[in-house]
A and B are shown apart, each in its own frame.
Chain A
Amino acid sequence: MSPRLVASLRVLLAATGFIGAVTGPTWLPVLAVVLLALRFRAWEGILIGLTVDLLWQPSGWIIGSFPLYTFGAIVLIWALEPLRKKLITFV
């Protein structure tokens, strides 16, 4: 795939994730973050998770509910870093 196409795909996935965070369904931002994390060092995935938690999670975390989506995105994107480094690209 051409670099321009790859960049467009990344923007599309990020936009889908942010729109899904606002309007739903709930699996859309998760899918976007997973797909982004598989291919890119997607810092925008962390922002998508943060957006979901700031929008929908009741406050009082640690005492109340845990910001699952933010930490989930951070763990996922960092955990897939070794996979991304060894990624084999078909040309």
Chain B
Amino acid sequence: MYYRPSNLRRGGNKGLYIVTALALLVLLADMATGGFIRAQVRVAGAAASRWTAAAGSAIGGTGLLSSRAALEAQNRSLALQLATLSEEAAQVDVLKEENDKLRAMVHLAEKDPGITTPVISSLFASPYGTFMIGAGSEDGVEKGDIVLTDGGFVVGEVSDVSASVSLVTEILAPSAAFEALVSGAPIHAEGAGSGSGRAEVSRSLGVSVGDVIRAAQYAQQPIAIVGAIASTSESATQTIYFHLPTGLSEIQYIYVTQARR
């Protein structure tokens, strides 16, 4: 074993200079065109996200990444199911579940006009607390519209709109800070991402697990429920941790409507 100097060529930065300039040019062009370039990238990204999810499901379904014990247990279970389960019955179950989710959103339309749209990207891939939905300006979506779960909880606000895809910024995005209400008292809430957040409140405030957190900026519409409360006898404050009642990963469809402020 011996040492030898790096074999990087001198003056070989030309490619790096070109790509750096290209990246800055793309950002400037995107800003100049009002987000046209990122709109195209998002359409491609949504398609790639769907393909990756489908590929992952296919690989997982083969049992390739499972342990031997898990495969044997799965084999026994599948053998039992095979006798009673048919492929058409499984398809009917999937369609019924989608139908139930969409039907649960009908009551939202009775209160506020809007549209139901699928979430078309990963809800955890964005470092900015954003995700994509499959509706855009062609469907009447506008910047500033709010996005609700089927239970009527505000998930976020539409921050970018293109023809067929829109970007939603979560209200509980990492580092987001906003005024909220709990038990009728104003609090300063902070987002922690993944549909959760926290707030420091006075110990005298009567807060319980399950209380609803409401957003002052959205006409006191609900945004989360209190999941845990942490306090010590030495401190004058208590920390409340809250989250969306529906797990973020379970959201397949959301409702987009104009914000009430």
Contacts and interface: CB of A to CB of B under 8 A. Distances in A.
B64 interface: no
By secondary structure, the B interface counts as mixed
Contacts of A57: 38, 128, 130
B106 to A, nearest CB: 30
A62 B240 CA distance: 34
Contact of B125 (A23, A59, A69, A90): A23
Interface string B112-151: 0000000001101111101000000000000000000000
Interface string A63-83: 001011110001001100100
A34 to B, nearest CB: 14
A12 interface: no
Interface in A21-65: 21-26, 41, 43, 46-47, 49-59, 61-62, 65
A21 B128 CA distance: 12
Interface in B34-76: 34-35, 37-38, 41-42, 45, 48-49, 52-53
A70 B27 contact: yes
B125 A24 contact: yes
Contact of A23 (B35, B42, B49): B49
B19 interface: yes
Interface size class of B (residues with CB under 8 A): 35 or more
B109 interface: no
Nearest to B129: A56
B6 A88 contact: yes
Which of A24, A25, A50, A54 is most buried by chain B, counting CB atoms within 10 A of its CB?
A54
Nearest to B26: A50
A5 interface: no
A43 B16 CA distance: 5
A70 B26 CA distance: 11
A22 B122 contact: yes
A67 B20 CA distance: 14
Which of B20, B125, B130, B160 is most buried by chain A, counting CB atoms within 10 A of its CB?
B125
Contact of B16 (A20, A61, A78, A89): A78
A57 B132 CA distance: 11
A58 B6 contact: no
Nearest to A43: B19
Given A22-B125, A26-B127, A74-B20, A58 B5 contact: no
A91 B124 CA distance: 41
A89 B124 contact: no
A23 B53 contact: yes
Given A54-B26, A58-B159, 16 more contacts: A24-B122, A25-B125, A41-B8, A43-B15, A43-B20, A47-B19, A51-B41, A55-B41, A55-B45, A56-B167, A58-B167, A59-B31, A62-B31, A81-B13, A84-B6, A85-B6
Task: Kindly list the 8 A-B residue pairs having the minimum CB-CB distance in the complex, ordered from nearest.
Answer: A24-B125, A56-B126, A43-B19, A58-B159, A87-B6, A59-B35, A54-B41, A54-B38
21 contacts: A24-B125, A26-B125, A26-B126, A41-B8, A47-B19, A47-B23, A49-B23, A50-B27, A53-B27, A57-B128, A58-B130, A58-B159, A59-B35, A59-B159, A68-B127, A74-B20, A74-B23, A78-B20, A87-B8, A89-B6, A90-B1
